Structure 1
Amino acid sequence: MARRAQDIYVEWRGGTCRVKWWSGEYREDGRKRFESKGGFTDEDEAFEFGQDQLYELRHGTGISNRDGATLMTDWIDDWFAATDHAYTTYKGYKSIINKHIRPYFKGTAVKDIDVIAYRAFRKHIHKKLPSAASAANVMTVLGMILDDAVPRLIKVSPVERKRTRGRYVKQTKRERKRDMDIAAIDQLARNAEVVCGYTGYVMIWTMAMTGMRPGELFGLRREYCYPNWPTSDPRPDPDEEQRYEEDMRRYGKGDGLMPAIRVQQQVQQMQGQSVAEVPPKYYSYRTLVVPPFLADMLEKLLASHDNTWVFPAIGGGCLKAAPFSKSYWFPISRGCDERTRARGNGRTRPAIPPVPDFAGKRMYLMRHGHKAWLDEDGHPRFAVESRMGHEVPGVEGTYSSVTVPMERAIMKALQERWERFERERAGG
């Protein structure tokens, strides 16, 4: 005998009974779509289970059997298609998903990823990736995917926000850094000049004296570089007219004006050897004043070529499309023996000495060192963070601004650092 109520009924089959309840959906022919669960031996227990399911569906906390059976790989596709990220973020998430998350959870339903399954993946990824920071990035992406599955596919997210069980694991170690010695920068610049000419020499000094990110440095176009900018600014945004006019009064070549570079974009690697010109990281558009000695170098460099890029690759293209680490940074920082140039008609490239402070290190550390120089010289925190392209939170970020005296102080301090080095090198 079956027990029935509105949108729910229990029926016996053999020695057990099953309960069916309306899922809240209709079939294409207009009939109600029901879901069911069997294996009950008590009719009242089965009926109460069905009532619980109806209650959850009516209050938005229920999950249909069909949604609960969604495979993780299908949910990843839906989740990723619905996200809107900057190119660099999109590229990073796609790589993490395709290399780590999708293969591991292939064939697994989202509902089956509980706390234990989440911990198992975390243990797996920390063993697979030697860098704790890289593993943390993977777990962050997985966390977002699972969090957004609530309440459609799972009732609660298995992501553990605070570690309370298991063996203690020390937080990510900070990269050990040395104080950036200007003599080391000079040697890097001289090595770069051997590798790729005067372009390399100026590029190293520009990164050390501005703290630009590598992608911003590689993507710097001549119209955004001293002495062309701001006169050559394309002025693409009509809403920025006030800023354009202020730039003309503040920066440029001439009496009372400050030499500067405008960070308007970065370049990122696309498929193959092509590059994409995209906004700087975190949309950190900014103007970077440069000391006079660097302004002279930049003016001389731009007069020496007519390339679109301020710092072109040896072949004339964008450095981002070149094998930069292998062909440029490694010999610049690690040094190399004398060798025959590939395109030099048999001419040899002289031996390059290693730079111990940077050998085996990232070029990015010059950006870190630039900030340390600014901090050493005692510049206001807001001026320093703005120059680095960082957002300053709270009241300080809302009310502060970078003034002309602040920028002139930065120029003066960097110029004095250069001049001290020049005097010490000359023995004076």
Structure 2
Amino acid sequence: MARRARDVYTEWRGGTCRVKWWTGEYHDDGRKRFESKGGFLDEDEAYNHGLDKMAEIRAGDHVSNRDGQTRMSDWLDDWLEAMDHAHLTERGYRSAIENHIRPYFKKRNTAVSDIDVLAYRAFRKHVNNVLGPGSAKNVMMVLGMVLDDAVPRLLKTSPVERSRRRGKFKKKPKERKKDVTPEAIEQLAVNARAYFGLSGYAFMWTMAMTGMRPAELYGLTREYCYPNWPASDPRPDPEEEDRYAEDRERYGKGPGLMPAIRVERQVQYEESELRFFPPKYESYRSLVIPAFLGGLLEELLASHDSRWVFPAIQGGSLGAVNFDYKYWRPIADGAEERVSRQARWNRAAMPEVPSFKGRRLYLIRHGHKSWLDEDGHSKFAVESRMGHEVPGVEGTYSSVTVPMEQSIMKTLQERWDGLQERLGRQNG
């Protein structure tokens, strides 16, 4: 073995030359840990390869032979263990990995370092063949994060191909929405009442008048709903005592107080069990409601003893049923009259609601924002009510004031009053 430079060695074995270089690491017994590569026919070429490896080590972008042979399946285990995301996000990432990414690379016994641009394209082609465009895009996004995080320890550079816009601009297709009218919400509410009683009627109007996300409504319990809240607030966080005190001064039932709902959690399934989680993006918020909705919620809570504000047909949480399929589709699309031997299953015919037929429940939430925008409320108040973060200076210095909330209550009540007047004229 010939020493050509400090910590770089070359030696001939048979008819080929091998180079060894120090990795910068030590064995447990204190000896330096070396890596090597053989097969060179020219000693200078071998020596320069060793120098290049030493330069990579000094620059911090060297992938050791040992790390480079890490199996993709093992790296996926490490990546999943280090995840720190919201429940639904983590569940989506795990689904993409366990159903598509891991089976593909485990079957091929692929090392992380073997995934170059061609291997990346081959996987993309496979996914596009077995999944729809939206699902395939999501799986490729997860793989992209996994491979990006493998740099620089397992990969020198990421093989992920970023989309580059070239040529003529092409606008992305956008979901076509129809204006959400109070009449449409009323018909949805009437259908929902035919389907699952007063709970259904109140559910639709609460979503329309608060913009709450479906899972937040499914998980709404008595202690966070008017007229009980904020007097009934469990007050679980000692560091929030100031907010609890302010809530009692601002919201509730009584002279000078504004009726409101507290968005404190949502329900989602985890390990086959329905559990509470923070609202999406941890968007905790207090939502004032118009007077008519306060009266409706008070009537609803007096009509049942469930912990859930909007109990399902059989009394549990709406989060425990396939609401979109079992409830929403017949409510929005219409359904024929149903007559059963058991009276509780009887149901009147429900007409379709044209502006929601075949469309998502979530569009009611979108409609709420449109109403607030039409009524000219401040952007900060609107975005805060929707549970969105407002960036920049506006988000830092603005706050939702009592006059802002009173104005929102007033315009929402006016929409209801206008609807009742129009319905009265029609019926008269």
TM-score bracket, shorter-length normalisation: over 0.9
Displacement, 1:123?
4.5
Per-residue CA deviations over 1:160-209 (Å, capped at 9, x if unaligned) read 344157x9895652211111121111111111111111101100110011
Displacement, 1:219?
0.5
Specify the alignment match of 2:152 in structure 1. Answer: 151
Work out whether residues 185 and 208 of structure 1, in 8 Å CA contact, stay in contact via their aligned partners in 2.
Answer: yes
Specify the alignment match of 2:10 in structure 1. Answer: 10
Specify the alignment match of 1:49 in structure 2. Answer: 49
Specify the alignment match of 2:88 in structure 1. Answer: 88
Matched, 1:33 2:33: yes
The alignment partner of 1:425 has SS state of helix
Specify the alignment match of 1:113 in structure 2. Answer: 115
Displacement, 1:14?
2.5
The residue identity in structure 1 corresponding to 2:185 is: I
CA distance in 2, matches of 1:381, 1:6: 65
What stretches of structure 2 of length at least 5 have no aligned partner?
none
CA distance in 2, matches of 1:164, 1:19: 44
After superposition, the Cα gap between the structure-2 partners of 1:25 and 1:271, relative to the gap in structure 1 and judged at 3 Å, is same
Matched pairs, number? 424
Pairs within 5 Å for 1:344-383: 344=342, 348-383=346-381
Q: After alignment, is 204-213 or 67-76 more displaced? A: 67-76
Specify the alignment match of 2:141 in structure 1. Answer: 140
Displacement, 1:256?
1.3
The residue identity in structure 1 corresponding to 2:296 is: M
Work out whether residues 11 and 17 of structure 1, in 8 Å CA contact, stay in contact via their aligned partners in 2.
Answer: yes
CA distance in 2, matches of 1:399, 1:298: 34
CA distance in 2, matches of 1:169, 1:10: 55
The residue identity in structure 2 corresponding to 1:42 is: D
The alignment partner of 1:426 has SS state of helix
The alignment partner of 2:85 has SS state of coil
After superposition, the Cα gap between the structure-2 partners of 1:70 and 1:240, relative to the gap in structure 1 and judged at 3 Å, is same
CA distance in 1, matches of 2:359, 2:249: 40
The residue identity in structure 2 corresponding to 1:93 is: Y
Matched, 1:193 2:193: yes
Displacement, 1:91?
1.1
Per-residue CA deviations over 1:309-360 (Å, capped at 9, x if unaligned) read 1011111211111122232112111122222458x35863222222121122
Displacement, 1:109?
1.8
Displacement, 1:100?
2.6
Specify the alignment match of 1:400 in structure 2. Answer: 398
CA distance in 1, matches of 2:27, 2:345: 78
Q: After alignment, is 292-301 or 241-250 more displaced? A: 241-250
| CA-based RMSD | 2.1
The alignment partner of 1:339 has SS state of coil
Work out whether residues 223 and 232 of structure 1, in 8 Å CA contact, stay in contact via their aligned partners in 2.
Answer: yes
The residue identity in structure 1 corresponding to 2:192 is: A
CA distance in 2, matches of 1:116, 1:30: 41
After superposition, the Cα gap between the structure-2 partners of 1:164 and 1:177, relative to the gap in structure 1 and judged at 3 Å, is closer
CA distance in 2, matches of 1:148, 1:171: 31
TM-score normalised over the length of structure 2: 0.93
Work out whether residues 9 and 21 of structure 1, in 8 Å CA contact, stay in contact via their aligned partners in 2.
Answer: yes
Specify the alignment match of 1:279 in structure 2. Answer: 278
Matched, 1:322 2:321: yes
Matched, 1:79 2:79: yes
Specify the alignment match of 1:183 in structure 2. Answer: 183
Pairs within 5 Å for 1:403-422: 403-422=401-420
| Identity value in percent | 65
Work out whether residues 265 and 280 of structure 1, in 8 Å CA contact, stay in contact via their aligned partners in 2.
Answer: yes
Displacement, 1:108?
1.9
The residue identity in structure 2 corresponding to 1:422 is: Q
After superposition, the Cα gap between the structure-2 partners of 1:341 and 1:401, relative to the gap in structure 1 and judged at 3 Å, is farther
The residue identity in structure 2 corresponding to 1:419 is: D
Specify the alignment match of 2:221 in structure 1. Answer: 221
The residue identity in structure 1 corresponding to 2:34 is: F
CA distance in 2, matches of 1:306, 1:172: 48
CA distance in 1, matches of 2:344, 2:400: 52
Displacement, 1:8?
2.5
CA distance in 2, matches of 1:264, 1:312: 18
CA distance in 2, matches of 1:333, 1:163: 40
Work out whether residues 340 and 346 of structure 1, in 8 Å CA contact, stay in contact via their aligned partners in 2.
Answer: no
CA distance in 1, matches of 2:230, 2:165: 55
The alignment partner of 1:105 has SS state of helix
Matched, 1:306 2:308: no
Matched, 1:248 2:248: yes
CA distance in 1, matches of 2:191, 2:274: 26
The alignment partner of 2:34 has SS state of strand
The residue identity in structure 2 corresponding to 1:268 is: Q
Work out whether residues 2 and 12 of structure 1, in 8 Å CA contact, stay in contact via their aligned partners in 2.
Answer: no
Per-residue CA deviations over 1:59-105 (Å, capped at 9, x if unaligned) read 32211111111122211110111121121221121112222322233
The residue identity in structure 2 corresponding to 1:307 is: S
Specify the alignment match of 2:261 in structure 1. Answer: 261
TM-score normalised over the length of structure 1: 0.93
What stretches of structure 1 of length at least 5 have no aligned partner?
none
CA distance in 1, matches of 2:220, 2:340: 27
Work out whether residues 184 and 357 of structure 1, in 8 Å CA contact, stay in contact via their aligned partners in 2.
Answer: yes
The alignment partner of 2:377 has SS state of coil
Specify the alignment match of 2:288 in structure 1. Answer: 289
After superposition, the Cα gap between the structure-2 partners of 1:325 and 1:78, relative to the gap in structure 1 and judged at 3 Å, is same
The alignment partner of 1:233 has SS state of coil
Work out whether residues 110 and 153 of structure 1, in 8 Å CA contact, stay in contact via their aligned partners in 2.
Answer: yes
